[in-house]
Amino acid sequence: MSILLDVKNLGISFGGLRAVNEFDLTIQKEQLYGLIGPNGAGKTTVFNLLTGVYKPDAGKVILDGKDITGERNIEISKAGIARTFQNIRLFKQLSVLDNVKAGLHNHHPYSTLSGILRLPSYRKVEKEMDDRAMELLKVFDLEKYADHQAANLPYGQQRKLEIARALATDPKLLLLDEPAAGMNPNETGELMDMIRFVRDEFHMTILLIEHDMKLVSGICEELTVLNFGEVLAQGKTSDVLNDPKVITAYLGE
Ligand SMILES: Nc1ncnc2c1ncn2[C@@H]1O[C@H](COP(=O)(O)OP(=O)(O)OP(=O)(O)O)[C@@H](O)[C@H]1O
């Protein structure tokens, strides 16, 4: 095993509120890792710190040996972190296929000029992108919707499309913010299979925030519990979920 993400002593304040404090997290390559905690504990703020939406005022973030602390969002995306959002953020007016291609465009190898002039090199790359985007859609059983407008997909499918788009950027680490939110139990069951599949087939490392304990206990190998911005418990999923401190934090909500 080798470490993909190593976070030490991370912190940020908003005015007088210490939203995240002395936060440590180590994730191994190809691990399925869960970040849980009561509402307002600081989970999304951790994602925002890891992806450069916020700059930490303390601590370090090392991704695959590279210090990315305080880098801008675009640099962190290039370094290999992709995410989905609690409130789905798709290009709603674009087709399903074009949403995935938007992720692939992060890496497009042709120049802007050849794109404008529609040169053969551009057309070849576009064809490759179409093929690659369709492959990703197939993974998520979305290929039949390729030409549909993203806004017209049912909610559960939009969540899957957001994951497909994030994967299109070819990340090292995939962050999923409440992927099962708004899903029915059947959809959540399918989502669990799909997340496992993504880890296995893409050798992906995944950190997810989730309130659905069935999903958390079903697929996460290790957990960190945040409470009032601080780590309350950390370790193997079954140990953490049976920790009396954790049970109290949830019941005390
Ligand atoms: N930009 C901001 N400005 C001020 N306060 C913020 C900001 N972002 C987050 N907070 C505060 O930081 C705390 C942690 O919020 P955060 O959204 O990270 O919690 P969470 O654990 O993701 O909650 P939930 O499970 O409800 O999504 C909350 O008190 C929130 O109000």
Whether 210 and 190 share a structural domain: yes
Instruction: Say yes or no: CB of residue 249 within 6 Å of ligand 1.
Output: no
Do you know the residue count of the chain?
A: 253
CB count within 10 Å of CB 154 equals 10
Q: Which of 148, 168, 188 is the last residue of a domain?
A: 168
List the CATH number of the domain containing 14.
3.40.50.300
Q: Which of 133, 168, 203 is the last residue of a domain?
A: 168
State residue 215 phi and psi, 5-degree precision.
Answer: -65, -45
pLDDT (tens, 9 = 90+) of the chain, 253 residues, equals: 799 999 999 999 999 999 999 999 999 999 999 999 999 999 999 999 999 999 999 999 999 999 999 999 999 999 999 999 888 888 889 999 999 998 887 655 555 555 556 666 667 777 888 889 999 999 899 999 999 999 999 888 898 999 999 999 999 999 999 999 888 899 899 999 999 999 999 999 999 999 999 999 999 999 999 999 999 999 999 999 999 999 988 866 5
Kindly tell me the sign of the dihedral angle through the C-alpha atoms of 164, 165, 171, 174.
Answer: negative
Cα 191 to Cα 215: distance, rounded to the nearest angstrom: 9
Whether 39 and 96 share a structural domain: no
Contacts of 216 (CB under 8 A, 6+ apart): 34, 36, 210, 223, 237, 241
Domain count of the chain?
A: 2
Instruction: Say yes or no: CB of residue 13 within 6 Å of ligand 1.
Output: no
Whether 138 and 212 share a structural domain: no
Whether 176 and 65 share a structural domain: yes
Q: Which of 168, 202, 220 is the last residue of a domain?
A: 168
CA of 141 from ligand 1 middle (Å) equals: 33
Whether 58 and 109 share a structural domain: no
Whether 116 and 239 share a structural domain: no
Residue 36 lies in a domain: yes
Whether 56 and 101 share a structural domain: no
Whether 58 and 32 share a structural domain: yes
Residue 148 lies in a domain: yes
Residue 86 lies in a domain: no
Cα 41 to Cα 224: distance, rounded to the nearest angstrom: 12
Residue 85 lies in a domain: no
Cα 16 to Cα 32: distance, rounded to the nearest angstrom: 34
* Residue-number span of the structural domain to which 132 is assigned: 91-168
Whether 101 and 206 share a structural domain: no
Residue 152 lies in a domain: yes
Instruction: Say yes or no: CB of residue 40 within 6 Å of ligand 1.
Output: yes
Residue 245 lies in a domain: yes
pTM: 0.90
CA of 10 from ligand 1 middle (Å) equals: 15
Residues 161/100, Cβ–Cβ less than 8 Å: yes
Measured by CA distance, the residue closest to atom 7 of ligand 1 is 14
